[in-house]
Amino acid sequence: MDLGIAGRVAIVTGGASGIGAATVRLLAQEGVRVAVWDLTAQETVGAELIQSVDVTSLTAVAAAWQHTEEHLGSVDILVHAAAIGSGHFGFPYTRVPVSAWDRVLQVNILGMVHLAHVAGPAMQSRGQGAMVFLASVAGQIGSQTDPPYSASKAANINFAQCIAKDLAASGVRVNSVCPGMVKTPLNESVWKSWHDQQPAEKRRSYEDWAADKIHQVIPLRRWQQPDDIAAMIVFLCSARAGEVTGQTINVDGGCVMHS
């Protein structure tokens, strides 16, 4: 299937690892010229341009956007996958110190705001573009595992809908993708924190414990993989999804179902 995006230019934030890196590879396979923005700025398969960018700085985001367009051309696609967890474990939320919220909100919410304020007007002025923001099923179900992360992802979903409504008349589409249980470094760090809370007499290996949890909470009874999420992201960026905007798409093995 021709997705109709060959030759376009994309930015993928958080593109050096996990879902972001998988998205870079799939976009490149479709003939897209991809710039990776990531604090680590490490080599990424499929990337033509790699920059170290701190999304919590509006100035840094604006400068990186200009640099990308100077080297690759006008940006048609933005995939925002950069995010962090708090590093703390909830159940209840009072176990997470208030001080742990600040950095999560800076990266996960204000980072998105900064990107939207730079990408939105640029795409609007050209009358085309697609943005996909990586959210999470945690933002839909009030996950207690990491309350700051969960709350920030709910904000991502809501703000993406606001952007979609504002930019639709200009031909710019905006959607959110919510992964379920994906084997990424971020997810593993959160789940290991959960695992480590188990009483000593019930403690098992992390792998066995996590496998049982997947069977309990995922109807398809398997982990999702980064490529599963990337495939949906790339589709939403494509001409094949030309009538899709303002949507929140779950790729979660059936974890969260909507009527």
Name the residue type at position 247: Q
Segment holding 13, helix H or strand E? strand 9-13
Q: Bigger pLDDT: 199 or 135? A: 135
CB-based contacts of 121: which residues, under 8 Å, 6+ apart?
A: none
Closest by alpha carbon to 208, among 220, 225, 191, 224? Answer: 191
Q: What is the pLDDT of residue 233?
A: 98
Q: What is the pLDDT of residue 226?
A: 95
- Three-state SS annotation for 67-127: HHHHHHCCCCEEEECCCCCCCCCCCCHHHCCHHHHHHHHHHHHHHHHHHHHHHHHHHHHHC
From the CB of residue 84, how many other CB atoms can be counted at a distance below 10 Å? Answer: 18
From the CB of residue 242, how many other CB atoms can be counted at a distance below 10 Å? Answer: 11
From the CB of residue 201, how many other CB atoms can be counted at a distance below 10 Å? Answer: 5
Find tokens 């976009």 and name the residue.
27
Q: What is the pLDDT of residue 199?
A: 75
Query: DSSP label at 235?
Result: H
From the CB of residue 169, how many other CB atoms can be counted at a distance below 10 Å? Answer: 9
CB-based contacts of 147: which residues, under 8 Å, 6+ apart?
A: 86, 90, 93, 96
**Is residue 10 within 8 Å of residue 75, measured between CB atoms?**
yes
Name the residue type at position 118: V
Query: DSSP label at 27?
Result: H
Mean pLDDT computed over 57-66: 98
In degrees, rounded to 5, the angle at the alpha carbon of residue 56 between the alpha carbons of residues 179 and 246 is 40
Q: What is the pLDDT of residues 80-89, one digit of tens each?
A: 999 999 988 8
Mean pLDDT computed over 174-189: 82
Task: Say how far apart CA 147 and CA 193 lie, in whole Å.
Answer: 13
CA dihedral 108, 113, 114, 116 (to 10 degrees): 120
Mean pLDDT computed over 170-182: 94
From the CB of residue 198, how many other CB atoms can be counted at a distance below 10 Å? Answer: 11
Which domains does the chain show, CATH number per domain? Answer: 9-181+225-251 (3.40.50.720)
Q: What is the pLDDT of residue 245?
A: 98
Mean pLDDT computed over 125-145: 93
Q: What is the pLDDT of residue 152?
A: 98
Q: What is the DSSP string of 129-192?
A: EEEEEE--THHHHT-SSSHHHHHHHHHHHHHHHHHHHHHGGGTEEEEEEEE-SB-SHHHHHHHH
Q: Which two tokens stand for residue 116?
A: 């939207």
Q: What is the pLDDT of residue 191?
A: 64
| pLDDT beyond 70 at 259 | no
Q: What is the pLDDT of residues 197-245, one digit of tens each?
A: 777 767 778 777 777 777 787 788 888 899 999 999 999 999 999 999 9
Q: Bigger pLDDT: 217 or 163? A: 163
Active-site annotation, residues? 149
Q: What is the pLDDT of residue 153?
A: 97
